[in-house]
Amino acid sequence: MERIPEPELMEEVEQATAYARADFEEPHARFIALFREKFPDAVVAGEVLDLGCGPADISIRFARAFPQCAVHGVDGAEAMLAHGRQRLSREGFSRRVKLSRAYLPGASLPAAAYTAVISNSLLHHMRDPLALWETVKHCAMPGAPVFVMDLRRPDSRERAQTLMEEYAAGEPPVLRHDFFHSLLAAYLPEEVAAQLHVAGLAGLQVEEISDRHLLIHGILS
């Protein structure tokens, strides 16, 4: 099945509210657990960049899991960031997690270099995926862990429908709609590997970690 792009930004208030209220406990807890698994010896300190942070759930989870770090979360959708800022204030993370609006490529980021770069579910939104990988390459310090999780495109629309019904059956219609179209917009493992080669990041590994997820990870040399 050919990739069908979707909008790069989630700017609708209803959409942002649905994401901020959704229960992502299982996949987001797994994001942190897999980071620990892939980088068991990493000392995560200093400033960490979270690309496409949305309403900041993973930014907060990462800061909680690694108390020696500060997290800079960036996203292009102000509606998402507004929910994230409210949560930071509510949960007392405003000093360790900073959110800013930024677009890739050419974004003005809070720091020049980062001790780790993470991202969840941003890649499939990118019409030009090299914008993400070039940002990773230029913002990660040498020796920094890079950890990117995203969806994997299924073989057909029918398979995407099946996955949506299996994993988002009880979600609001806006989330069901977005999940289905995000599956259609996702990249295949071989496509991601080709992107990494062009970006000069061929040392990163691409793994299929579920029936719908890819994981791209490694140490930046």
- The predicted-structure confidence for 139-183, as pLDDT tens digits, reads as follows 999 999 999 999 999 999 999 999 999 999 888 888 899 999 999
pLDDT digits (tens, 9 = 90+) for 16-65: 566 656 667 888 999 999 999 999 999 899 999 999 999 999 999 999 99
Q: Angle at CA 86, nearest 5°, toward 81 and 90?
A: 145
**Quick one: pLDDT at residue 16?**
58
Give the start-to-end residue ranges of the domains of the chain.
13-219
Give Cα separations from 134 to 20, 34, 104 (angstroms).
Answer: 28, 23, 9
* Residues 6 or more apart in contact with residue 138 via CB below 8 angstroms: none
Q: How far lies 170's CA from each of 85, 90, 164, 166, in Å?
A: 27, 27, 10, 9
* The domain defined by 13-219 carries CATH number 3.40.50.150: yes
- Residue 56, phi-psi category: left (phi > 0), alpha (psi -120 to 50), beta (remainder): left
Is 80 in contact with 55 (CB distance < 8 Å)? yes
pLDDT at 37: 97
Q: What angle do CA 180, 184, 188 make, to 5 degrees?
A: 130
Q: 46-55, pLDDT tens digit by residue?
A: 999 999 999 9
pLDDT at 63: 97
Q: What is the pLDDT of residue 149?
A: 98
Q: What integer is the mean pLDDT of 115-124?
A: 97
CB distance 62 to 118 below 8 Å: yes
Do residues 3 and 186 lie in contact, with contact meaning Cβ atoms separated by under 8 Å? yes
